[in-house]
């Protein structure tokens, strides 16, 4: 997002790589008052659509949008519905459970994965993007598509064992402990520091977003530590309520308040992602509620996930996508015109 704008209204956009159709959608979004768009850039895009993504991003900027990109499902350790071949190309750089089982998820500590991500940053720079959403980075087992057993944890790969030993002077334990927990958190922060510093060196705006716990209200310490990183500009939260243990208003309120607190303490902008996928028929009003709660708490930088309530993608589609999507921008426009 453009850090100078007092108000932003954005949407993610994915699943269409036909530039002529993208252009039509961009015109529609412009008319609806959108200021920002997020284009996902997956491993598939890196491999087959580099030039097309550049065209799509250029077309977006030509319409006046600020363009964010996200590393969609890259290495299977970021948010997104996409396949990954990183584990085929670099099996040595993937996470390993305490029992030595190799997983398809990339290891945040492995230099090969960090290099891969820097190459991705270089690629999205060439495509012309303005901002990067470091979206929902997570270790295996914390969400994602390839779950592990409840009693399994990562990462005890050779690289992680080596770093643990170097830092603590003893072998990495084979059992879960607070030391292991701390090590994983430190590793995540170290990874994000290296990535956001690198992206900052290329003039990107860095946005950090961790997926909120939907079972219990919890703010892991890595949220605050990530917000302290020098390269980070925006702290975002995406409290997607469908399937959460709490009703919409309460759920949004809690995570928005936490995000605002963390952002303010670190002089960062704060951004809220509103759910626009898997909204059931008759529950579209929840989108409006989420927007209102965010607005009343003081949020002025909004995004929604995603375009037309993901009606084009059966896995994510809302039952009545047009209505759910309209409830996002329609509500925001009303709030903005009332209160300025
Ligand atoms: Zn590892």
Strands (DSSP E) found in 234-333: 234-237, 269-275, 301-305
Question: How big is the CA angle at 16 (ends 4 and 235), to the nearest 5 degrees?
Answer: 30
What is the CA(65)–ligand 1 centre distance, in A?
A: 38
Q: What is the pLDDT of residue 213?
A: 95
Quick: pLDDT tens for 284-329. 999 999 999 999 999 999 999 999 999 999 999 999 999 999 999 9
What is the CA(236)–ligand 1 centre distance, in A?
A: 26
In a 3-state reduction of DSSP, which class is residue 45? helix
Flag whether pLDDT at 283 surpasses 90.
yes
What is the CA(228)–ligand 1 centre distance, in A?
A: 24
What is the CA(274)–ligand 1 centre distance, in A?
A: 33
- Give me the helix-helix angle, 158-168 and 178-200, nearest 10°: 100
Q: What is the pLDDT of residue 219?
A: 97
- Region 184-190: mean pLDDT is 98
What is the CA(70)–ligand 1 centre distance, in A?
A: 23
What is the CA(197)–ligand 1 centre distance, in A?
A: 21
What is the CA(226)–ligand 1 centre distance, in A?
A: 20
Superfamily of domain 8-87+110-145+192-339: Glycosidases (3.20.20.80)
- Give me the helix-helix angle, 321-339 and 285-297, nearest 10°: 30
What is the CA(10)–ligand 1 centre distance, in A?
A: 35
Q: What is the pLDDT of residue 88?
A: 98
Quick: pLDDT tens for 16-67. 999 999 999 999 999 999 999 999 999 999 999 999 999 999 999 999 999 9
The answer to whether the Cα torsion of 195, 200, 202, 207 is positive or negative is positive
Quick: pLDDT tens for 213-271. 999 999 999 999 999 999 999 999 999 999 999 999 999 999 999 999 999 999 999 99
What is the CA(157)–ligand 1 centre distance, in A?
A: 4
Q: What is the pLDDT of residue 298?
A: 97
Count other Cβ atoms within 10 Å, centred on residue 332.
Answer: 24
What is the CA(109)–ligand 1 centre distance, in A?
A: 6
What is the CA(306)–ligand 1 centre distance, in A?
A: 32
Q: What is the pLDDT of residue 339?
A: 58
Q: Say which DSSP state 143 is in.
A: B
Distances (CA, A) of 106 to 88, 139, 140: 11, 9, 9
What is the CA(283)–ligand 1 centre distance, in A?
A: 42
What is the CA(126)–ligand 1 centre distance, in A?
A: 30
Q: How far apart are CA 289 and CA 134, in angstroms?
A: 26
What is the CA(210)–ligand 1 centre distance, in A?
A: 20
Query: Are the C-beta atoms of residues 59 and 19 closer than 8 Å to each other?
Result: yes
What is the CA(112)–ligand 1 centre distance, in A?
A: 11
């Amino acid at each position: 997002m453009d850090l100078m704008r007092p108000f932003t209204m954005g949407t993610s956009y994915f699943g269409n790589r036909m530039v002529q159709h993208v252009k039509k959608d961009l015109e529609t979004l412009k008319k609806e008052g959108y200021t920002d768009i997020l284009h996902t850039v997956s491993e598939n895009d890196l491999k087959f659509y580099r030039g097309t993504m550049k065209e799509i991003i250029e077309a977006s900027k030509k319409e006046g949008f600020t363009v964010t990109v996200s590393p969609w499902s890259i290495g299977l350790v970021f948010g997104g519905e996409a396949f990954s071949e990183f584990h085929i190309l670099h099996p040595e750089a993937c996470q390993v459970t305490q029992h030595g089982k190799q997983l398809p998820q990339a290891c945040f500590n492995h230099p090969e994965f960090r290099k891969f991500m820097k190459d991705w940053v270089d690629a999205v720079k060439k495509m012309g993007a303005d901002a990067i959403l470091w979206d929902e980075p997570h270790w295996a087992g914390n969400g994602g598509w390839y779950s592990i057993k409840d009693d399994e944890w990562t990462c005890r790969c050779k690289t992680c064992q080596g770093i643990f030993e170097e830092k603590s002077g003893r072998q990495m334990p084979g059992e879960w402990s607070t030391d292991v927990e701390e090590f994983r958190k430190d590793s995540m922060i170290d990874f994000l520091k290296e990535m956001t510093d690198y992206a900052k060196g290329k003039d990107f705006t860095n946005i950090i977003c961790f997926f909120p716990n939907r079972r219990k209200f919890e703010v892991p310490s890595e949220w605050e530590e990530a917000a302290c990183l020098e390269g980070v500009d925006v702290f975002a939260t995406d409290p997607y309520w469908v399937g959460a243990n709490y009703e919409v208003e309460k759920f949004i309120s809690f995570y928005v308040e936490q995000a605002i607190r963390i952002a303010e303490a670190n002089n960062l902008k704060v951004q809220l992602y509103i759910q626009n996928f898997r909204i059931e028929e008759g529950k579209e009003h929840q989108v409006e509620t989420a927007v209102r709660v965010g607005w009343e708490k003081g949020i002025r930088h909004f995004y929604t996930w995603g375009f037309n309530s993901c009606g084009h993608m059966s896995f994510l589609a809302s039952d009545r996508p047009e209505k759910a999507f309209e409830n996002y921008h329609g509500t925001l426009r009303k709030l903005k015109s009332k209160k300025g």
